[in-house]
Structure 1
Amino acid sequence: MNILHIVPSFAPCFSAGGVVNASYQIAKKQVEKGHDVCVYTTDGCQERLKFKDNYNVDVDGIKVFYFKNISNIVKNRLTIDTPISSISYLKKTIANFDIIHIHEHRHSLAVAAHRYAIKNNIPYVLQAHGSVLPFFQKEKLKEIFDEIEGFDILYNASKVFALTEVEKQQYLKMGVSQPKIEIVPLGINLEEYKTLPQKGKFKSKYGINESEKLIMFLGRIHEIKGLDLLIKSFNKISKENVKLAIIGRDYGFLNEIQTLIKQFNIEDKVIFPGVLTGDAKKEALVDCDIFVMPSRYESFTTSGLEAMACCKPLILTKNNHIHDWVENRAGLTCEFNEEELANCFEILLNDEMLCKKFGISGRTLIETKYDWNKIEKQIFDIYQTCLY
């Protein structure tokens, strides 16, 4: 099958968030199954992605076209893509594909792909990755976009992928018909977690004693992730021998949480390793005792799945759509409240057996439901229903 993925940013720009990793993992698995896979994306990242030839770059067998944004500053500050050259290229090549897989829909590549897919009668599926409803930031602009282009992109899709039942309800609220909606979760590549790094490497690197407990956040340093709540709750922990690692790229919220850290005089308890990938990320996961994602809103927590693959207990706020299958199974959940979050920390920090129980249960859940091999098979079966 000839498959085209449309996504605003792509590997190696993994710091841009979960959509990059998800689209990369799906495309890579499809290549492994023998499909001809292309990705049309932009060169936008924290720094422009530069290759000898931005067009037709081989990324693990995936043919990737990094169309150049007119302004990378506009891309990073306003999240607006400007890959003008992609329009003519899409027009010329779109008929070569059997199906198109659009990741997110409020971006210029999605607009162009939708228009030429319709003109050429090429079916497409849409995976919103938690961005179905226009809320949290730039709501008015999103609403305007939806009136001009967004609703058509949603309604003309052969299928739309919801990460969870909550996102399915969001599609319904936007007027998408129920038969078009398929629940397709994200996953992880379990093969990458067969052999884990030796315990203690991360702690040693950052001067953390083996006897000290480590709470870890892994994701974007962004207001939506609730890191202000995390710092306030962490400050309430009664135990002295606990450290907090906030791992990820700053999206304009670092100064605010550093101000809180100074206010509480806990600079010696919080570390910022920056963006970690590959073995460095796994070293951090292996050494942490608790994984936390205290989000104001979260459709899915891929980094939480990675923690579960390393047998770590999770703590999530109930603003996370996956909280219902994590609660008392792979970890604890709480309201977006500093007292409740602090209480969850206290429970797990004082109950090693409970942490171990959650860790084993979480690993089992990953193996049975959130392996990319199984998810790729589900996606391929959905593609076929769009073609025949």
Structure 2
Amino acid sequence: MNILHVVNYFAPCFSAGGVVNAAYQIAKKQVEEGHNVCVYTTDSCQERMKLEHNYNVDVDGIKVFYFKNLSNDVKTKLTIDTPISLIGHLKKHINDFDIIHIHEHRHSLAIATHRYAKKNEIPYVLQAHGSVLPFFQKEKLKEIFDKLWGFDILHDADKVFALTEVEKEQYLKMGVDEEKIEIVPLGINLEEYNSLPDSGKFKSKYNVKEDEKLIVFLGRIHEIKGLDLLIKSFNKIQNDNVKLAIIGGDYGFLDDVKSLMKEFELEEKVIFPGVLIGEDKKEALVDCDIFVMPSRYESFTTSGLEAMACSKPLILTKNNHIHDWVKDNVGLTCEFDEEELANCIETLLNNEELCNTFGKNGRKLIEEKYVWEKVEKEIEGIYTRCIH
């Protein structure tokens, strides 16, 4: 198949979150299966990416077109894409593709792709990655977008991908026909976690004592991730022999987190390694005792899957759509409440046997269900049905 992915950020901008990683992993697996895969994206990241040329960059066999945004500042501050040469390229090349896969839908790349896919009768699937409903920040702007473009982009898709049953219900609320909705989870590359780094490397790099417990958050430093709740809960922990690592890039919330740390005098107990990828990320997961994702809203937690692959227990707020199968199986869940979160953390800090049980269960579940090979095969089957 000739496949086009449309996403407003792409590798190597992994700091932009799970959508980038998901789009990259799916495209990479499709290349490995022998498909011709293109990606249309932009050259934006936290800082504009430095590329020798914007077009036809080979990324692990994926042909990636990084269309230049007129302003990277507008993109990073207002999340508005201005890919000036995208429309001309779509006009010329959209008929080269058998199927189009749009990641998220409230961006200008999706508007243009929808227009020319419909005009040329090219089937497309849409994967909202948790952004189906217009909520959490800029709700009014999202509602306006939906009236102008969003509803059409959703309703004209041949299929839409829901990560969970919760997201399926959100599509239904937006008026999408139930027969168009396919539940397709995310995954990880399990082979990357079959050979893990030796323990102690992360702790050594960041001056964490060998006998100290380590709690890890891994994701964007953004208000939606609930890091203010995590700091408040961490402050309540009755254990002086524990440190917290907040791993990820700043998306406008780092100053708020550090202000809370200063208020609670936690500067010596919280570590900010920045963005970690590859072996550095695995070193952090290997050394952690508990993985925490305290989100205000989360459709899925890819970094949580990575922690599970390292046999680590999870703690999630119930705002995460996957909390139902995490609870008392691979970890603990709680309301978005500092007392409840603190209690969950203390429960695991004080029960090594429970941590080990959750860790083993998590690793087994990854092997059975959440690997990219299985996910990609499911997606390929859906593509085929759309084309025929």
TM > 0.5: yes
Query: Once the 2 structures are TM-superposed, how far is the Cα of residue 76 of structure 1 from its aligned partner?
Result: 0.4
Distance 1:360 1:387 in 2: 40
Q: Which residue of 1 aligns with 2:305?
A: 305
Q: Which residue of 1 aligns with 2:35?
A: 35
Q: Which residue of 2 aligns with 1:4?
A: 4
Query: Once the 2 structures are TM-superposed, how far is the Cα of residue 84 of structure 1 from its aligned partner?
Result: 1.5
Distance 1:317 1:53 in 2: 43
Q: Are 1:342 and 2:333 counterparts? A: no
Query: How well do the aligned residues superpose, as a CA RMSD in angstroms?
Result: 0.5
Amino acid paired to 1:91? K
Q: Which residue of 2 aligns with 1:227?
A: 227
The DSSP-based 3-state class of the residue aligned with 2:268 is: helix
Q: Which residue of 1 aligns with 2:99?
A: 99
After superposition, what is the alpha-carbon deviation per residue over 1:132-173, rounded to whole angstroms, capped at 9, x for unaligned? Answer: 000101111110010010000000000000000000000000
After superposition, where does 1:241-320 map in structure 2 within 5 Å?
241-320=241-320
Amino acid paired to 1:253? F
Distance 2:82 2:140 in 1: 20
Q: Are 1:88 and 2:88 counterparts? A: yes
The DSSP-based 3-state class of the residue aligned with 2:198 is: coil
Q: Are 1:68 and 2:60 counterparts? A: no
The DSSP-based 3-state class of the residue aligned with 1:382 is: helix
Q: Which residue of 1 aligns with 2:199?
A: 199
Distance 2:257 2:7 in 1: 31
Q: Which residue of 2 aligns with 1:378?
A: 378
Amino acid paired to 1:21? N
Query: Once the 2 structures are TM-superposed, how far is the Cα of residue 222 of structure 1 from its aligned partner?
Result: 0.6
Query: Once the 2 structures are TM-superposed, how far is the Cα of residue 330 of structure 1 from its aligned partner?
Result: 0.4
Q: Are 1:367 and 2:355 counterparts? A: no
Query: If the length of structure 1 is used for normalisation, what is the TM-score?
Result: 1.00
Amino acid paired to 2:210? E
Distance 2:39 2:245 in 1: 34
The DSSP-based 3-state class of the residue aligned with 2:373 is: helix
Amino acid paired to 1:351? N
Q: Are 1:184 and 2:196 counterparts? A: no
The DSSP-based 3-state class of the residue aligned with 1:268 is: coil
After superposition, what is the alpha-carbon deviation per residue over 1:295-338, rounded to whole angstroms, capped at 9, x for unaligned? Answer: 00000100000000000000000000000000000000000000
Distance 1:50 1:385 in 2: 39
Sequence identity (%): 78
Query: Once the 2 structures are TM-superposed, how far is the Cα of residue 112 of structure 1 from its aligned partner?
Result: 0.6
Distance 1:50 1:231 in 2: 35
After superposition, where does 1:155-170 map in structure 2 within 5 Å?
155-170=155-170
Distance 1:50 1:31 in 2: 25
The DSSP-based 3-state class of the residue aligned with 2:69 is: coil
After superposition, what is the alpha-carbon deviation per residue over 1:196-232, rounded to whole angstroms, capped at 9, x for unaligned? Answer: 1110000000000110000000001111100010000
Query: Once the 2 structures are TM-superposed, how far is the Cα of residue 194 of structure 1 from its aligned partner?
Result: 1.1
Distance 2:20 2:55 in 1: 18
Query: Once the 2 structures are TM-superposed, how far is the Cα of residue 191 of structure 1 from its aligned partner?
Result: 1.1
Where does the alignment leave 5 or more consecutive residues of structure 1 unmatched?
none
Distance 1:112 1:260 in 2: 42
Query: Once the 2 structures are TM-superposed, how far is the Cα of residue 342 of structure 1 from its aligned partner?
Result: 0.4
Q: Which residue of 2 aligns with 1:212?
A: 212
Distance 2:261 2:106 in 1: 35
Query: Once the 2 structures are TM-superposed, how far is the Cα of residue 381 of structure 1 from its aligned partner?
Result: 0.4
The DSSP-based 3-state class of the residue aligned with 2:41 is: strand
Q: How many residues align?
A: 388
Distance 2:296 2:48 in 1: 30
Distance 2:196 2:276 in 1: 15
The DSSP-based 3-state class of the residue aligned with 1:267 is: coil
Distance 1:192 1:143 in 2: 40
Q: Which residue of 2 aligns with 1:329?
A: 329
Query: If the length of structure 2 is used for normalisation, what is the TM-score?
Result: 1.00
Amino acid paired to 1:60? D
Distance 2:4 2:296 in 1: 33
Amino acid paired to 2:81? D
Q: Are 1:21 and 2:21 counterparts? A: yes
Query: Once the 2 structures are TM-superposed, how far is the Cα of residue 50 of structure 1 from its aligned partner?
Result: 2.1
Query: Once the 2 structures are TM-superposed, how far is the Cα of residue 118 of structure 1 from its aligned partner?
Result: 0.5
After superposition, what is the alpha-carbon deviation per residue over 1:339-372, rounded to whole angstroms, capped at 9, x for unaligned? Answer: 0000001110000000000000000101111000
Q: Are 1:358 and 2:358 counterparts? A: yes
Query: Once the 2 structures are TM-superposed, how far is the Cα of residue 16 of structure 1 from its aligned partner?
Result: 0.5
- Give runs of ≥4 in structure 1 deviating > 3 Å: none
Where does the alignment leave 5 or more consecutive residues of structure 2 unmatched?
none
Q: Which moved more, 1:376-385 or 1:255-264?
A: 255-264
After superposition, where does 1:113-152 map in structure 2 within 5 Å?
113-152=113-152
Distance 1:279 1:39 in 2: 26
Amino acid paired to 2:214? L
Distance 2:226 2:110 in 1: 29
The DSSP-based 3-state class of the residue aligned with 1:55 is: coil
